[in-house]
A = this chain, B = another copy of it.
Amino acid sequence: MLRNDYEGQICALARSLELIGERWTLMVIREVFLGRRRFGEMQENLGIARNVLSNRLQRLVDAGILEKRPYSERPLREQYYLTEMGLDLWPTIVTLTHWGDKYIPLPGGPPMILRHRGECGGVINDRRICERCGAEVTVREAIATEGPGLKPALAELAGAKA
């Protein structure tokens, strides 16, 4: 059998990757962080195969990372929410995103910048500390804002399609 586990490894990294290390899984979690909670929405945004998305969502719900709640009975319509366990993946996503922006940069700069929500609005660094006020920022205190690299990247994407 082809496995998604790392048998014989004791390290916590291996145990983490057994849950979120599969292709697409972290991207799906990012979608939920960005507020895209519906199946079709995620599918369209990611360009993921529907059966694979279905599989990933199911695994994430089983693992306790996502939770499925209806936003409408009759017709039954479901949405996926992050549990505490899922919200706690935010640091991982922040760190990886910073790494990507540093070493695989877009020509125009980062497409997204995390900021301290509300009054402060300071930039959040890869230790999740606000560069302006020094606060240790949590998920709920952060907000994703558009960075300088987004528009150029979108333009190029549109150009490549034509």
Contacts and interface: CB of A to CB of B under 8 A. Distances in A.
A30 B46 contact: no
Nearest to A156: B10
A155 to B, nearest CB: 11
A26 B21 contact: yes
Contacts of A12: 96-101, 104, 106, 110-112
A89 B100 CA distance: 10
Contact of A100 (B4, B15, B96, B150): B15
A128 interface: yes
B8 A100 contact: no
Nearest to A17: B26
A7 B153 CA distance: 13
A91 B16 contact: no
Given A21-B23, A95-B95, A47 B8 contact: yes
Interface in A101-156: 101-104, 106, 110-112, 126-129, 136, 149-150, 153-154
Interface of A: 4, 6-19, 21-23, 26-27, 30, 46-47, 64, 85, 88-89, 91-93, 95-104, 106, 110-112, 126-129, 136, 149-150, 153-154, 157
